[in-house]
């Protein structure tokens, strides 16, 4: 009570610019903090890598180049997709340690279907093959997840134990299914989902159109919510804050599109494509060794005699964005999402309010399994192979991403976009250290430290606010 009085007094005058800005835009300080940390990490790695070997990045390094940003987004996809589900699991005071092993098991099952079962029967490249493989992965994932949820909710076995058992058991199943070997290659259409082939790249035109459509959606969304609040005469955000949010959102979308649209295809693929499609190759500029060179995003790249193609957004990145939007919708706009948060906040109150908490638990785990199935498709398609070690340790990265993104293990608190930012942060640190040629063991030390540090900062902030 005393607190609210003091805030009121400060509202009248002397309130800081930042506080007023945050109140008007209703932005979460912790998300802003995370975006800030991410920018610092990005710039830091660009500067550090530039000191080693100068390149065309924003600060003279190789981190903030279109090529690295593009790769970073594709690399983050698999973990980011799973972490959107893990947020809900953790918010509901549960945990799923089995996602890594489940990813391997499901990916191997999908690979067995396309390579050993349908491939020889229907003939390589038949369109049913990739559809069947995708359906297998998604359905198997959802079923295994629902099974985890059933054991947790109805047989009352703690989810930590259920999924710890799953972590061990599912990797065993994966090994048996694959007979311990690597299954490759995947169906041609299936591998598009991994983003490693030219067919998986949207190209500049479609990327720009998609970006514009997204900007329109952002503006429409803000207008719609404003109209709703007007209808019921609720307090409105100031107009400058609405404009600021729309402009910032659009700027991020357009800026990112500009970046991915300046990443050219690899040299060899352009050559293959030109030959296969009988493209007339214009005369280009050659470097000292006689190789053709082109400019791409301020960077000199090898190309085929002045012929250059740009990638634009890759399929797995689009899948991740769609999953992120869908899961944000589920978490904030549906009954199911509301119940997940209510159960996380006070399981007893939720039960007494008449919520079927057991059913919600099963659904959350089934959703987690479905998303793991989706990630298994992305991961195996990207590698163009499936092995029983494909998802090894993924559960730890997925949980770490959710936690770095502000999800509280005590339950009730966490956001989908925060967790996705967490996944991007972790992947940035890893790939940055790879650019600096630091050994893998060192990368593990840093990622582990960042996880603990992120939670410490978050706790510290929360205590200060309260």
Partner 1 sequence: MNAPLVEMRNISVSFGGIKAVDDVSIDLYPGEVVGLLGHNGAGKSTLIKILSGAYRRDSGQIFINGSEAQISNPRDAKAYGIETIYQALALADNVDAAANLFLGRELMTPWGTLDDVAMEAEARKVMARLNPNFKRFKEPAASLSGGQRQSVAIARAILFNAKILIMDEPTAALGPHETQMVADLIQELKRQGLGIFLIDHDIHSVMQLCDRASVMKNGQLVGTVNVKDVTEDDLLGMIILGKNPEKAA
Q: Which of residues 406-425 bind partner 1 (CB under 8 A)?
A: 412-413
Instruction: Closer to partner 1 by CB, 228 or 393: give it.
Output: 228
Residues in the chain: 466
Q: Report whether 129 contacts 364 (CB < 8 A).
A: no
- Rounded least distance, CB 89 to partner 1, Å: 16
Of the residues 20, 52, 229, 462, which one makes contact with partner 1 according to CB under 8 A: 229
Cβ-based neighbours of 141, under 8 Å, separated by 6 or more: 102, 106, 369, 370, 371, 372, 373, 374, 376
Contact track, partner 1, 125-154, x by CB under 8 A: ------------------------------
SS3 label, residue 183: strand
Binding mask 327-356 for partner 1 (x = CB under 8 A): --x--xxxx--x--xxxxxx-xxxxxxxxx
**Which residues, 6+ apart, have CB-to-CB distance to 104 below 8 Å?**
170, 171, 174, 376, 386, 387, 388, 389, 390, 391, 392
Q: With respect to partner 1, which residue has the nearer C-beta, 284 or 345?
A: 345
Tell me the two tokens of residue 421.
């930012």
Q: Are 142 and 369 in contact (CB under 8 A)?
A: yes
Query: Per CB under 8 A, does 17 bind partner 1?
Result: no
Residue 463 engages partner 1 in binding (rule: CB under 8 A): no
Cβ within 8 Å of residue 452, ≥6 positions away: none
Residues 32-91 that bind partner 1 (CB under 8 A): none
**Residue 307 forms beta bridges with which residues?**
304
Residue closer to partner 1 (CB basis): 241 or 314? 241
Asked whether position 115 contacts partner 1 by CB under 8 A, the answer is no
Site string for partner 1, 351-390 (x = CB under 8 A): xxxxxx----------------------------------
CA-to-CA distance for 464 and 466, rounded, in angstroms?
A: 6
List helix spans (H) across 61-202. Answer: 66-91, 99-111, 119-122, 127-153, 159-178, 188-192
Q: Which stretch binds partner 1 (CB under 8 A): 99-107, 119-127, 225-233, 445-453?
A: 225-233
Q: How far apart are CB 20 and partner 1 at their closest, in Å?
A: 17
Smaller CB distance to partner 1: residue 359 or 438? Answer: 359
Coil/strand/helix, residue 310: strand
* Residues 200, 414: Cα–Cα separation, whole Å: 32
**Identity of the residue, 190 or 417, whose beta carbon is nearer to partner 1 in the bound complex:** 417
Q: Residues 62, 55: contact at Cβ < 8 Å?
A: yes
Contact call for residue 316 and partner 1 (CB under 8 A):
no
For partner 1, the binding residues (CB under 8 A) are 1, 228-229, 231-232, 234, 329, 332-335, 338, 341-346, 348-356, 412-413
């Amino acid at each position: 009570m005393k607190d609210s009085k003091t805030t009121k007094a400060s509202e009248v005058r002397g309130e800081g610019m930042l506080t007023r800005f945050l109140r008007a835009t209703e932005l979460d300080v912790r998300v802003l903090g995370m975006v800030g940390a991410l920018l610092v990490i990005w710039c830091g790695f660009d500067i550090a890598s530039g000191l080693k070997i100068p390149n065309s990045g924003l600060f003279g390094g190789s981190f903030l180049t279109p090529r690295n940003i593009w790769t970073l987004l594709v690399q983050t996809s698999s973990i980011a997709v799973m972490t959107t589900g893990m947020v809900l699991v953790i918010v509901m005071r549960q945990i799923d340690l089995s996602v890594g092993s489940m990813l391997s098991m499901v990916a191997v099952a999908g690979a067995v279907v396309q390579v050993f079962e349908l491939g020889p029967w229907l003939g390589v490249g038949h369109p049913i093959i990739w559809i069947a493989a995708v359906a297998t992965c998604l359905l198997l994932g959802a079923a295994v997840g629902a099974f985890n949820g059933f054991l947790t909710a109805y047989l009352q076995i703690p989810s930590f134990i259920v999924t710890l058992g799953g972590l061990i058991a599912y990797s065993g199943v994966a090994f048996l299914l694959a007979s311990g070997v690597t299954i490759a290659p995947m169906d041609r259409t299936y591998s598009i989902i991994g983003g490693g082939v030219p067919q998986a790249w949207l190209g500049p035109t479609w990327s720009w159109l998609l970006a514009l459509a997204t900007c329109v959606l952002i503006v429409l969304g803000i207008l719609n919510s404003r109209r709703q609040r007007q209808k019921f005469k609720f307090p409105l955000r100031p107009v400058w804050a609405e404009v600021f949010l729309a402009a910032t959102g659009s700027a991020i979308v357009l800026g990112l599109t500009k970046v991915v649209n300046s990443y050219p295809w690899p040299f060899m693929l352009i050559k293959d494509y030109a030959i296969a499609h009988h493209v007339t190759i214009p005369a280009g500029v050659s470097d000292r060794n006689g190789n053709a060179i082109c400019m791409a995003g301020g960077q000199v790249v090898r190309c085929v005699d002045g012929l250059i193609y740009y990638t634009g957004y890759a399929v797995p990145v689009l899948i991740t964005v769609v999953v992120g939007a869908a899961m944000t919708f589920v978490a904030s706009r549906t009954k199911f999402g509301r119940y997940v948060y209510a159960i996380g906040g006070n399981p007893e109150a939720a039960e007494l309010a008449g919520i079927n908490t057991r059913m919600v638990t099963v659904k959350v785990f089934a959703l987690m399994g479905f998303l793991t199935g989706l990630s298994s498709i992305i991961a195996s398609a990207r590698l163009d192979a499936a092995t029983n070690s494909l998802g090894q340790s993924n559960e730890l990265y997925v949980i770490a991403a959710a936690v770095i993104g502000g999800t509280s293990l005590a339950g009730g608190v966490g956001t989908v976009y925060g967790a996705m930012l967490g996944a991007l942060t972790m992947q940035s640190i890893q790939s940055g250290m790879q650019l600096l040629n630091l050994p893998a063991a060192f990368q593990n030390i840093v990622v582990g430290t960042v996880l603990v540090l992120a939670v410490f900062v978050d706790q510290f902030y929360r205590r200060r606010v309260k």
